[in-house]
A and B are shown apart, each in its own frame.
Chain A
Amino acid sequence: MDVFLQTLVAGVLKGGLYALIGIGMTLIMGVMGIINLAHGQLMMVAMYITYVLHLAGVDPYISLFVAMPGLFLIGCLIQHYLLNPLLKVETILPENQVLMTVGIGMVLTEVVRFIFKSDYKSVSTGYSNATFFLGDISFSVALVISFFIAIAFTVAMFFFLIKTDIGRSIRATAQDKDAAVLMGVNTGRITIVTFGLGSALVAAAGSLLAPVFYVFPDIGGPFTARAFIITILGGLGSTVGAIFGGVTLGLAESFGATYISMDYENIIGMTIFVLVLLFLPGGFKRLTKV
Chain B
Amino acid sequence: MINKVWDSFASAVADVKDGDSVMIGGFGSSGFPLQLIEALRQHGARDLTVISNNAGVGDEGIASLLKDRLVRKIVCSFPRSAGSVWFERLYEEGAIELELVPQGTLAERIRAAGAGIGGFYTPTGYGTRLAEGKETKVINGRGYVLETALPADVALIKAQRADAWGNLIYNTAGRNFNPPMATAAALTVAEVERVDAVGDLDPECIVTPGIFVDRVVAHGMKGVAE
Question: A and B bound?
Answer: no
